[in-house]
Amino acid sequence: MPCNPLLLEALADGELRGLSAWRVRQHLARCPSCQKEMVELEALSAELKGISPLPQPLRKPIRRPLGLIRPVFATLALASVAAFLVARAPVSESPRPMQATPEASPEITPHEPVKPPSKPSTAQPTQVAQESLPKTPRKQIVRRVARRKTKTYHRPLAVVKALPTKAQDPEQVIIVASAITLPKPVTIVLNDKDDEGGTIHIESTIPAAYVVALQKETK
Amino acid sequence: MAWSPQKAHETRRHAAFARLWEQERERVWRLIVALSGSRDEADDLTQEVSIRALEGFSRFRGLSSASTWLHRITVNVVLRHRERRRESVTLENETHTTDAGPERRAVQSDTLRRTQSALEKLPEDLRTPLVLLAWEELSYKEIATLLEIPIGTVMSRLHTARQRLRKELGDAL
C-alpha cells in the first residue's frame, strides 16, 4: 500500500475501522516517513486541544481504535479461550463444589443447614444448594456486561469465537472475563448477539503514536 | 380572545421549539464557542441563534433532524459573525480579541499562542472542520452533515488545514 496522508489522518482521527484500519497500520509499521507523520499529527492535535476555548470539564478524550492484532493481545485471547474451556470442563462432567454432600465433607458443613423456609422437610441438601443459586438467564448477565454508557469504537483487537454449548453456566462466562489480568487500556466485551455461540471482543484505546512506539520496541 | 386554529397551531409550534431549545441550548453554546474561538460573545450569539431559529421554525420541513437543523443555523450565524468581524478589524486585533482573557494569555506558552494565531489565519472553510474535529470532537460524518459537504471534502479540507498549520508552525511542533 502506498503512502496516503488522508488515510493516515483518518486513522489518527479514529475514523478507520476493521480491515482498512488494519491495512493502514500494517503500512505504518513499515514506513518510517508515515510514522514521523503520525507523531507530528498527534503533536498537532495536542497543540490544538491546548488552545481549545471550551471549558475544561466538558472536554472528553477521543477513544481511538487500534485495528491491529498484536501478538501480546492475540496470546491473551488464546489464553482466555483456554481458561474458558478449562473452567467449563469440570462444570459439565463433575459435580460442582457447592453440591458436595454433608457425608463427603462433614467439617465444612455449617451448623445450621441452609434450607429455604418454604420447604423445610422435603428438600435434600443437594437440591437446597441448587435452589439457593440465583437463577439468572445467561443472556441477561452477558447483556449487562456488554451494555456500556461510554461511546467506544467496537473494533476488535482479537476476536475469539466460543463454541455453542447446550447448558452453559452464566457465572463461568463472567469468571473468564475477570480472571485474566489485562493492561488498563484493554477491555473485554462479551457479545452474545451472533449466531455462533457468542464472541469475545478485546478492544483497546491506546493512542496511535504509542502503538507505533510499541511496535518498534517489539521488533 | 377567541380560539382559532391558527393560534392553536402557533402555540404548539412555540412549545415544540421551546422543548427543542431546552435540549440543544448547551450544545449550541459549545458549538458557538468552538467555531468562534471565544467565550466572550458566546451568550450573545446563542441568543441570536435562538431568535433566528424561532423565526425559521415555521419553515422547517423536517428534511433533517431538528437538532441538525438548529446546528446548521448555529454554524451559519457564527460564520457570518466571524466574516463581519474579519472585515471590521485587522488580523492582529482579531487574534487579541479571540483570546480567552489576560489570565489565560499569561499562562499560554509561545507555541500555543503561535498555534492560535496560525489557526486564526486559516480561511473559514478550512478552519471550521478542523475546530469541529479538534474541539467538538465530531466525526467526519457529523462534520459533513453539519457543513452540508461530502465526507471526501471534509477529509481534504482537514488535510489542507493541517498542512498549512504545520507549515506555519514549522519547528514549533
Q: Where are the domains of chain B?
A: 11-85, 102-172
Q: How confident is the model at residue A74 (pLDDT cuts 50, 70, 90)?
A: low
Looking at the partner chain, which of A9, A43, A54 has a beta carbon nearest the beta carbon of B173? A43
Contact B159 A45 (CB under 8 A): no
pLDDT in tens, A82-101: 787 777 665 544 444 444 44
- Specify the pLDDT at position A3: 85
Q: Where does the pLDDT of residue A72 fall: very low under 50, low under 70, confident under 90, or very high at 90 and above? A: low
Segment B66-110, tens digit of pLDDT: 888 899 999 999 998 888 887 776 544 444 445 455 555 555 567
- Which of B30, B134, B139 is the closest to A48 by Cβ? B134
Cβ atoms within 10 Å, residue B13:
14
State yes or no: pLDDT of A219 exceeds 60.
no
Contacts of A56 in chain B (CB under 8 A): none
| Cβ-defined contact of B156 to A49 (cutoff 8 Å) | no
Residue B130: which of B100, B160, B150, B151 has the closest Cα? B160
B166 vs chain A: nearest CA distance in angstroms? 8
Query: In degrees to the nearest 10, what's the CA dihedral of B143, B145, B146, B151?
Result: 40
Query: Residue with C-alpha cell 421549539?
Result: B17
Do the Cβ atoms of A48 and B100 come within 8 Å?
no
Between A165 and A178, the more confident residue is A165
At A84 the pLDDT is: 77
CA-based max dimension of chain A? 78
User: What average pLDDT score do residues A155-179 get?
Assistant: 48
User: CA–CA separation, A168 vs A166, rounded Å?
Assistant: 6
Least confident of A6-10, A64-68, A76-80, A114-118: A64-68
A10, A49, A60: residue with CB nearest B134: A49
Q: What CATH fold (topology level) applies to the domain B11-85?
A: Rna Polymerase Sigma Factor; Chain: A (1.10.1740)
Q: Do B134 and A9 touch (CB under 8 A)?
A: no
Distance separating alpha carbons of residues B120 and B96, to the nearest angstrom? 11
Per-residue pLDDT band at A136 (split at 50, 70, 90): low
Percentage, residues of chain A above pLDDT 90:
1
Task: Provide the pLDDT for residue A46.
Answer: 87
pLDDT at site B149: 93
CA dist list (Å): B94 to A144, A203, B83, B107, B121: 52, 44, 11, 20, 10
CB A205 within 8 A of CB A152: yes
CATH of domain B102-172: 1.10.10.10
> Residues B149-169: pLDDT tens digits?
999 999 999 999 999 998 888
Task: Report ipTM for this prediction.
Answer: 0.76
Model-level pTM? 0.54
Q: Mark yes or no for CB contact B135/A5 under 8 Å.
A: no
